[in-house]
Amino acid sequence: MTIEIEFFGATGEVTGSCHLVTVGNHKILLDCGLIQGRAKDEARNRESFPFDPASIDAVVLSHAHIDHSGRLPLLVKSGFRGSIYTHRACRDLCRIMLKDSAFINEKDVQWENRKRARKGLDLIEAMYTVKDAQIAMKQFKGLVYQQKKRILPKVTLCLNDAGHILGSSIVELWLEDEGQQRKLVFSGDLG
């Protein structure tokens, strides 16, 4: 069995958690967070994903903090059509936090565009809107702790309490391929 894990965020920095697990023909994204910090770092949030969002089968979200969840509306806007699995409390927090993140982004872009217009520069678009955040929420599937759930034909998920924030999870994935099974554990943030 070959399991491939690609790290696209939270490597060499704390924010922007985003990890792609490929086993067989299944692709599971663990978190999809915003990069936060200096303006030049945050500008990377606007870059295209280093993978095709439409090729992702499922997302598993460890918790609602924006550095783990903040690019989910952009992922959906960019073509992801699968389910976003997380704890029910995390889903409920994301409903508030992603909408708030979108609202702040829209206001920041309005302010930036006023400056750009005065300088004769091209205007920019919001990374995602409140409506985009609401659309993304339709793909969320709320789960409970310590209950196995088959999320793809050869992928089973179980969430355990990470003790970080309400609804935060240690993610356990059972991956099957070529008659073998392996368990992958992703801690997200702990304590």
- 105 in a structural domain: no
Please report, for the domain that includes residue 154, its CATH number. 3.60.15.10
* Per-residue pLDDT tens digits for 63-88: 999 999 999 999 999 999 999 999 99
- Report if residue 81 sits inside a domain: yes
For 35-70, b/e burial (b = at least 16 CB within 10 A) is bbeeeeebeebeeebebebeebbbbbbbbbbbbbbb
132 vs 129: CA distance, rounded Å: 5
Query: Could you tell me if residue 116 is inside a domain?
Result: no
Residue-number span of the structural domain to which 137 is assigned: 3-96+131-181
Does a structural domain hold residue 119? no
Domain count, the chain: 1
Per-residue pLDDT, 41: 80
At residue 138, the 3 state secondary structure works out as: coil
Distance of CA 65 to the CA centre of its chain: 10
Residue 135: pLDDT over 90: yes
Q: Return the percentage of the chain with pLDDT > 90, whole number.
A: 85
Is the pLDDT reported for residue 182 higher than 90? Answer: yes
- Flag whether pLDDT at 21 surpasses 90: yes
62 part of a folded domain: yes
Which two structure tokens, joined as six digits, stand for 134? 């609401």
Residue 136 lies in a domain: yes
